[in-house]
Every structure is written in C-alpha cells, then in structure tokens.
Copies of this chain bind each other. A is one copy, B any other.
Amino acid sequence: MNAPQLSLSRRLRVSPFESRSMPSASRVSVYNHVVLPVGYGSLEEDYWHLREHVQIWDVACQVQVEIKGPDALRLVEWMTPRDVAACEPGQCIYAPLLDRNAGIVNDPIVLCHANDHYWLSLSDSDVLLWAKGIAESGSWDVEVVDPGVFPLSVQGPKAEDLLARVLGESIRALKFFRFVASEISGIPVKIARTGWSGQGGFEIYLMKPEQGEALWDIIAEAGEGLHLRVGAPNLIDRIETGLLSWGNDMTLENNPFEAGLDRFFKLGKQADYLARQALESIAEAGPSRKLVRLAAGGEPVDPPRDTWPVLRASGEPIGKVTSMVWSPRLEQNVGFAYVPIDLSHPGAQVGFSAPGGLRSATVCGGDWAA
C-alpha cells in the first residue's frame, strides 16, 4: 500500500497549533474532522524519546462537547453507566457512552466544571450530534455545544518538571485525573493530569484558539535542557500501556463488557441511563467474547490496516486482531484481539492471519505475561 499525501481543506479542521505541529510531521491522521500529527521520527524513535524525556503533542483533535444547564448532569448520566454524580468539580472521569443496545458511541474523558457544566473530551465520533439528537428530542434544559476549546498534551517522565517551569511548583501537587483552571503568561487554560500515554503527563486545554501559537511557543521554550520534542500519541506506547482506541479496538458494534470497559463502572447506579436494560442483559448472560492482550513472536509486523482474523488451532476463524505493533522493548509483537471467552485467559494459544502468513500468539495478562 502506498502512503499518499493528505489533501487539506477547511473540512479537515485546523488545529490552533497546526503551524507549530505540522511542518515537521512525517505522518498524520484525521480525528474528529481535525488533522492529527501521529509521527515525527520513526515509530520507535518517537517511542524511546517519549519514555525518556518529554514531548509536546498537538491533540486539538480531542474536541470537546460542552453540556451546560440545569439538566446537564442528568444528560451526562443518561449517556453512560458511570456514576457521574460522584464526579466532583475539578475531577475527570473516563466514561464510555453507550447507545440503547449498549454499543460504544465514544469513550470520552468527562471534565466536571460544576454539576451543571461538563465537557466531554472525545475520541473519534461526532458526539456533538449524538448528544444534541438526544437533547433536542426531549425536555432537557441544557445547552449542547462545541465550545471551541482545544487540548495540547505534554507527556513523558519530564512532563512535571516542564510544567513546573511554566506554572510554578504547585502544579506538582495536581493529582491524577484532576484539573485546575490557570493562566500561562496571561493565556487562560485548564490543566489536567491526564493524557494518552503510559509515561505520565498533562493535557492543557486552550480556551481561545487564537492563542494557540503563543501557548505552544511558551511551552516549547520552557523545555530547554529537558530534551523536549514535538511528538504524538505513540502506537507502541499506547498498546503496551493497554490504552484502547475507539474505532480500532472498539466501535458501536462492541459492548463495554467485551471491550473490558466494565472495570470503570458498577451496574446499578442510581441515575437512569439509556443502556441500562441492554447492559444488565449482557451482564446476566455474560459476553461471548473478550478483548485481550495478545503477544506474538517472529518478525515485526506492520500495524494492521484493518482487522486480522484470529483462528483456532483447527483453522476456524473465531475473532479478530484490532491493533498490533512491534515492541522493541518487549521484543515481540503486541496487540489487542477479540477472542471467545474460553480462550480469553492468559496463556491461551491462538493463531492469527497477518499479511505474510499465519502466526501463533499467546493471550497475555495486564503486564504482558502469559
């Protein structure tokens, strides 16, 4: 497959950081209608750098849906099985959004500003339309809008040192999945201890797009001596860390039990929600398949363009690989796959069919041990 150039127009929304993040990007994608740089050096170079130093990422594509008004809490509750009422102002929660069949619509991080004011920081689907479709169909006293707020991310082991230079030492006290309102040289931002890597870091929500370049430059300049580099969400790191990608590892066709998102909620929350009946039925019957970590030796794979079939020893197709990449640290191919329940325990052996032929693989636990 050749890798043709991306043609740009207004339809692919401009990130406020584009003039800084794009010129040196070697690979890009499109996410929530926004251009997302995904690579600068090779995947492996970007990976090792992220593990050692600190990177600044243009993740403006994590667009927000703002839900505001007397019924804001009730609407956010309606969309997810998570107990949103327990989320305090200044707290973030990871909240899968589910349709009536318990299919996964999106898996945003919800930022609670107040119990009548939330942001959903999205993965790649038009939740603005989903939430508006619901809100405009009933008697919900809410506003559902795109607030025009865009995050950049600072990730890596030196992220805290970098942020302390920009924001002062007090930022070190910010806890995981908490956020605060702040200013960086007069630029209003929200700072969250979140981010799509396993190396720790922060997401900085830019409130006024026209200040994107100034904000970027302040952070870039503060990185002197920390080996700060422009980077991007890294496929190797996110798979090793067990971070799922909506559209890759789960879609509207998957429910949270099979995708393993049930660890983020308990059934039976008090507030009513759309997927309650479907979700309780699935819980009762038990899911028929599970998303697992899969490790495979042999030559490094090229990451899949589409799913690869998972096979029983007999050759029978029984599932699919959704993501996979060579880990230079674990020295094997690591990925995610849907497999039947009877093959979902660590140590189970399966095959899968990748370009170049059949491979054998082992189901792994959370630490990639079989």
- Which residues of A are interface residues toward B (Cβ below 8 A)? 1-12, 14, 22-23, 25-30, 33, 37-39, 99-100, 105, 124-134, 136-138, 245-248, 252, 274, 303-307, 322-323
Contacts and interface: CB of A to CB of B under 8 A. Distances in A.
A9 B134 contact: no
A33 B123 CA distance: 12
Nearest to A2: B23
Contacts of A8: 1, 3, 305
Contact of A129 (B26, B129, B306): B129
Contact of A130 (B11, B99, B133, B247): B133
30 contacts: A2-B23, A3-B7, A4-B5, A4-B22, A4-B37, A5-B28, A6-B29, A7-B27, A7-B28, A7-B29, A7-B38, A7-B39, A9-B248, A10-B306, A10-B307, A10-B323, A11-B245, A11-B246, A29-B30, A30-B30, A99-B136, A105-B129, A125-B126, A128-B252, A130-B132, A130-B133, A132-B133, A133-B134, A136-B274, A138-B138
A28 B14 contact: no
A136 B134 CA distance: 8
A33 B106 CA distance: 14
Nearest to A78: B137
Contacts of A305: 8-10, 14
Contacts of A132: 99-100, 130, 133
Contact of A5 (B3, B12, B124): B3
A136 B304 contact: no
A276 to B, nearest CB: 13
